[in-house]
Structure 1
């Protein structure tokens, strides 16, 4: 009976394809060309050969963990990819969502001990770095209704957090319901659900938090049919779910497998490096134009003969 139910669940899902477009037209499931893969790997190798002082200034080799999906991806590498997603998001001026880097979530957690000990929560002074989010990014409630945040839990498992400001709710999305455990997830998410209303009360141009008496955001874990168990893939899985939700896909019916994730991982790494170091990897548009030029050249040679 369980096997029949599992087959039925898979049949009711909607697979994503190579042509599925994410935020800003990004097609992560279309395999990168051999030229772009080789250029990326060459750039990573060159970065490793740089003197320590120069390498530390950029550390592009951290993107290799994203590219390979062989081990837990660092927060720094994920935040570089988030910067790339944000750049694509900027091309959609009418969208009502934003992506936050994982450093924002980590900094909020670091504030929790002092926040918890503060007798007057509504007057707590948050870290200056948290304030930056409200100065340099689209304003919550005014321009943004949904927030997307990749979050690392426990010993390195990544999940995606969807914050619905209007519903005053937080949703967890990941590709392996057995990991992390409910306890590990709750220990990380609960402090955030408690502090976010006070952060909103401090920096957002709305009185929603005050009207709700700073009630914590509700939390739930979405049931998703995908199963990708490799821990090195969890960060890319989380990013994919967040982007799919941002473009309006129903996550409880969408389906992809580990092969899809590994292809997406390579594209995320390659495109992020291209954004950070223009010219290190030839843009896809440049390759297409080069191929067209070669074809035209051959055509005119044939005519000439």
Structure 2
């Protein structure tokens, strides 16, 4: 039988010309890829208008597509060292996909929110206790993730048929965020961890067990027979990448993870993700808040 790793690799990602120079102390030439600019400080006047509109808002909460979030929701996204919960992270992922999803889908990439890892972890005990993985009853939203039918996305994102690489954030123990890069070609998961010292190898193994054991069976259950001809139930492997920027001041791991997702799925390698200054983190947290606000609330009013 042909091994999964012997399958054809994904075509090289499209790269546009251009470059970006960062900082005075850390000069790093970063190519601009398909119009994506990884570090662009938001305009001062835009930030001022944004904060003014948030301050003038009189209701106690915002309704974002049926999800009720507190009045401080956007301030929590842009405030340095403020912990980001699943609701923050998932709307940040959705805003990013709305902006770049068409291009990423054309490169056989999909970016999912934390629902995938959350549901796999929640069903893990039942999966382990099941008589046979082939008869396990999967949560319907897990099947939708693999089939590419979750939500109202117009892009084709079925695993193995349309998509070869899956990006998703994962929460470890309700205290730390990491980014997972799931390769459907090599059956391997790269973990982009913004604070390696936070989690021991033993803990990592425990957190990753639901994915490495369940994903093969979920894929075989949800994908079309023609797409899984060379797939078997071999566990996924995983490894944590070294050399990435580390969230040493604390509280920013969720923001780091979204930036890791943005840059890595546009083809940036570890050397481009090796250093985020506090100012850079503050700026891209503000950018995330602005993107979510503009996507789900409306345009900022010009004075």
TM-score, normalising length: structure 1? 0.78
Per the TM alignment, residue 177 of structure 1 is displaced from its structure 2 partner at its CA by 1.7
Match of 1:261? 281
Per the TM alignment, residue 182 of structure 1 is displaced from its structure 2 partner at its CA by 2.1
Going from structure 1 to structure 2, the CA distance change for 1:125 and 1:57 (only over 3 Å counts) comes to closer
Distance 2:274 2:216 in 1: 33
Q: 1:113 aligns with which of 125, 128, 148?
A: 125
Query: Aligned ranges for residues 25-174 of structure 1 at < 5 Å?
Result: 25-47=35-57, 49-51=58-60, 57-59=67-69, 61-92=72-103, 93-133=105-145, 134=147, 135-136=149-150, 138-174=157-193
Is the Cα contact below 8 Å between 1:171 and 1:219 reproduced in 2? yes
Match of 1:10? none
Q: 2:238 aligns with which of 219, 225, 232?
A: 219
Distance 1:80 1:37 in 2: 19
Per the TM alignment, residue 130 of structure 1 is displaced from its structure 2 partner at its CA by 1.7
Distance 2:62 2:88 in 1: 19
Q: 1:232 aligns with which of 251, 254, 264?
A: 251
Distance 2:239 2:27 in 1: 23
Per the TM alignment, residue 250 of structure 1 is displaced from its structure 2 partner at its CA by 1.5
1:15 equivalent to 2:28? Answer: yes
Per the TM alignment, residue 57 of structure 1 is displaced from its structure 2 partner at its CA by 4.5
Unpaired runs of 5+ residues, structure 2, are: 1-25, 151-155
Per the TM alignment, residue 44 of structure 1 is displaced from its structure 2 partner at its CA by 3.2
Per the TM alignment, residue 43 of structure 1 is displaced from its structure 2 partner at its CA by 3.6
Match of 1:294? none
Deviations 1:249-300 (A, max 9, x none): 1115543223212211110111111011122x25xxxx8xx9xxxxxxxxxx
SS at match of 2:106: coil
Unpaired runs of 5+ residues, structure 1, are: 1-12, 291-305
Distance 1:275 1:88 in 2: 9
SS at match of 2:262: helix
Is the Cα contact below 8 Å between 1:198 and 1:214 reproduced in 2? yes
Distance 2:56 2:68 in 1: 12
Per the TM alignment, residue 81 of structure 1 is displaced from its structure 2 partner at its CA by 0.5
Q: 2:270 aligns with which of 238, 242, 251?
A: 251
Match of 2:7? none
Deviations 1:82-116 (A, max 9, x none): 00111123331522101010122101111111111
TM-score, normalising length: structure 2? 0.78
Going from structure 1 to structure 2, the CA distance change for 1:52 and 1:176 (only over 3 Å counts) comes to closer
Which protein shows a greater Rg? 1
Going from structure 1 to structure 2, the CA distance change for 1:275 and 1:53 (only over 3 Å counts) comes to closer
Per the TM alignment, residue 26 of structure 1 is displaced from its structure 2 partner at its CA by 4.2
Distance 2:210 2:91 in 1: 25
Per the TM alignment, residue 46 of structure 1 is displaced from its structure 2 partner at its CA by 4.3
SS at match of 1:66: helix
